Amino acid sequence: MPYTIPNNSCVGCDNCRPQCPTGAIKIENDEYWIDPSLCNNCEGYYPEPQCVVACPTNSPIPWQAKRGRCRVEPREVTSPDLFSNGKSNPFASAIVIWEACNVLAQRTSLSWETDEQGNLCYRRQVYQGKGAIAFHILASADPSTSVTEKPPKLVTDLGAIEALDIRNACIHLIFAAYATSLDRPWEQEFAIDERQLEKYLGLEKRKDLSKAVKLALMKNLVQQACSLMISIDWPQQGQVKGFSVTGSRLWELVSIQHHFQEDELGCKYLVGLTFKVRAGIWAQHFLNKQGCKERTAFYQYGSLPKSLLTTVMSIWQQHEGAARLMLWLLFKTKMGKEQRITVPTLMRVAYGEEKITLAFRQREERKRLLRTFEHDLEVLNHYGMKPCFDPVTYPPAIQPLWAKLVDIPEDPDEALEFWMNDGGNTSRLTDIGPRGKWNLLMNARILAFDLPPDWEQQIADSEKKQQRTAKNKRKSKTTSDLIGDQILRARKNLNLSQRELAKLAGKSQSWIRDIEKGRLKVKLEDQVVLRKVLGIA
């Protein structure tokens, strides 16, 4: 049980704070208090709490459940709640967000390397190897440690990366959703408190967790989600010029506000947290509405289903591979319904390259990984993400048993007839997989995943955007077909000079010359005139 310090008995001698091995004793507004999420009664360090030993007035007392009416400290207004429709909310979905989600979810399954300074780094090439995105992990995401004040301490041990909680990815996606509500998220802050996080993550239904445990969990998840450092080397892409970002925080934890209740004895109890967060400078390039209109930056967003957050929070411990696949498919399915994902790709996302390599070498590991993969696909199917197997590369003979059982009729008489027919066939539903099933799976593909209804809106929006893009390209192509060689050939076929064509079109000779040489594009209204004069269909 953690300890607390009543204000009316503390003399502010500062004897206790240096003695605390976990750094739980804080000073706020010239008052001492103990963070219950850090205090562990000095277990594992000393036989008795050192704050009690060092205090001349015996001020620290065990934290007790609050009784009776307590005075509540006022709170600042937070940012508006997400998921106003109860289902989904826009969120930033650029490649920076996707890769950061992979880092938080897959952790040591990724290929980490050591940079020149001896810090662990995960690097991902982009745009056909012309650019790269690199991630480092901060050893501490304490808001009192500013990146601009001194070089931040980065993680050098894989153990610290392994200690990251996959649930951090949910916090990361919530931050990405809040960032889309701001015009300049790299300058503006958003505030979110523990009550909002409880609703988004489904923690309000966890009656087995006390308030103190929930606060400690949320504080730890937020700090870990804000521990990512990012460096970007992006080449020129279309009209957007190349840029570089070095050593910037993905999410900057500006401050953590602790909210207390005070009882009749003057004891204060931590009852709430408010986190103020700001996006890093990457948002200036990937979440810039005005820059996107001016074609100097990108603005990429998708739809974040609330059910994804609550599902990951409920299955992360028993089915981590399925949780990883859900987070990865959130971004993959943005590209449309036809993904054509290979089984090795899904396995690498869910379990990492090392486990797949080990499975190739050891038969028992191969069987274990195969059972786990088929079970994780069943979990995805249970939560509405049904895989559509490629009939050519992923035939029924190597499909999971649960996928075959879907076709069994519910009517008892029809089910009996189904099993009688199955028993009379040369191949039966319950037959074991064919010899060499692993090798067949390494060449198998899943055409797509049928998604839950609250995910389908995201796919519909993506397809509409693709259709608009294709339409604009066709329109642009139609416009470009009427410049250059086509106009030149049509003019020569009619034995017209540039001067004569300019006179017929009501333009200058230099304009005709620039059009034929490709220096200018023909406007829509000018196309009509040129087509009529030159007789072009």
With cut-offs at 50, 70 and 90, classify the pLDDT of residue 127: confident
Task: State how beta strands 243-249 and 228-234 pair.
Answer: antiparallel
Q: Which residues contact 35 (CB under 8 A, 6 or more apart)?
A: 24, 25, 26, 258, 270
Of 216, 209, 212, whose CA–CA distance to 261 is shortest?
212
Q: Which residues contact 303 (CB under 8 A, 6 or more apart)?
A: 88, 89, 90, 91, 455, 457, 458, 461
- Does the pLDDT of residue 29 top 80, yes or no? no
Q: How many helices (H) and strands (E) does the chain have?
A: 21, 18
For the chain, the maximum distance between any two Cα atoms, rounded to a whole number of angstroms, is 107
3-state DSSP assignment of residue 534: helix
Question: pLDDT value at position 218?
Answer: 93
Q: Quick check: 3 and 49 in contact, CB under 8 A?
A: yes
Burial 106-144 (b: 16+ CB within 10 A, else e): bbebbebeeeeeebbbbebebeeeebebbbbbbbebebe
3-state DSSP assignment of residue 449: strand
Q: Quick check: 23 and 63 in contact, CB under 8 A?
A: no
The predicted model gives 334-353 an average pLDDT of 83
With cut-offs at 50, 70 and 90, classify the pLDDT of residue 147: very low
Q: What is the DSSP string of 180-197?
A: TT-SSTTT-EEEEEHHHH
CA 258 to chain centre: 27
Q: What backbone phi and psi angles, to 5 degrees, belong to 235?
A: -80, 170
| 72 against 428, higher pLDDT | 428
The predicted model gives 516-537 an average pLDDT of 78
Tokens of residue 395, six digits: 């035939």
Q: What is the pLDDT of residues 177-193, one digit of tens each?
A: 999 999 999 999 999 99
Sign of CA dihedral 400, 403, 407, 408: positive
Residue ranges of alpha helices (H) inside 316-352 are: 320-332, 343-351
- Indicate left, alpha or beta for 86 from its phi (over 0: left) and psi (-120 to 50: alpha): left
Cα 278 to Cα 273: distance, rounded to the nearest angstrom: 17
Which residues does residue 237 pair with via DSSP β-bridges, in sequence order? 240
The predicted model gives 69-85 an average pLDDT of 75
Cα 296 to Cα 288: distance, rounded to the nearest angstrom: 9
C-alpha atoms less than 13 angstroms from C-alpha of 32 in its C-beta half-sphere = 23
Rounded to the nearest 10 degrees, how much is the dihedral formed by the CA atoms of 55, 57, 61, 66?
-140
Q: Quick check: 81 and 294 in contact, CB under 8 A?
A: no
| 265 against 371, higher pLDDT | 371
The predicted model gives 119-138 an average pLDDT of 90
Cα 324 to Cα 425: distance, rounded to the nearest angstrom: 39
- Does the pLDDT of residue 320 top 90, yes or no? yes
Which residue in this structure is represented by tokens 């290979």?
A: 342
User: Any idea which of 141-155, 198-212, 492-506 has the lowest mean pLDDT?
Assistant: 141-155
Looking at every residue in the chain, the average pLDDT score rounds to 83
DSSP H or E run through 248: strand 243-249
Q: Give, in degrees to the nearest 5, the angle at Cα 427 between 422 and 431.
A: 95
With cut-offs at 50, 70 and 90, classify the pLDDT of residue 481: low
- Does the pLDDT of residue 471 top 70, yes or no? no
Question: pLDDT value at position 153?
Answer: 85
Tokens of residue 212, six digits: 């103190």
With cut-offs at 50, 70 and 90, classify the pLDDT of residue 457: low
Q: What is the DSSP letter of 25?
A: E
- Does the pLDDT of residue 80 top 80, yes or no? yes
Sign of CA dihedral 171, 177, 179, 182: negative
Strands of 250-332 (E only): list them. 251-262, 268-279, 301-305
pTM of the model: 0.73
- Does the pLDDT of residue 71 top 60, yes or no? no
Cα 106 to Cα 328: distance, rounded to the nearest angstrom: 10
Q: Quick check: 52 and 1 in contact, CB under 8 A?
A: no
Q: Per mean pLDDT, which of 133-142, 332-341, 464-473 is the most reliable?
A: 133-142
Tokens of residue 296, six digits: 């100097």
Other CB atoms within a 10 A radius of the CB of residue 49 amount to 23
Q: What backbone phi and psi angles, to 5 degrees, belong to 414?
A: -65, -35
Q: What is the 3-state secondary structure (H, E, C) of 83-143?
A: CCCCCEEEEECCHHHHHHHHHHHHHHHCCEEECCCCCEEEEEEECCCCEEEEEEEECCCCC
Question: pLDDT value at position 276?
Answer: 94
Cα 275 to Cα 514: distance, rounded to the nearest angstrom: 58
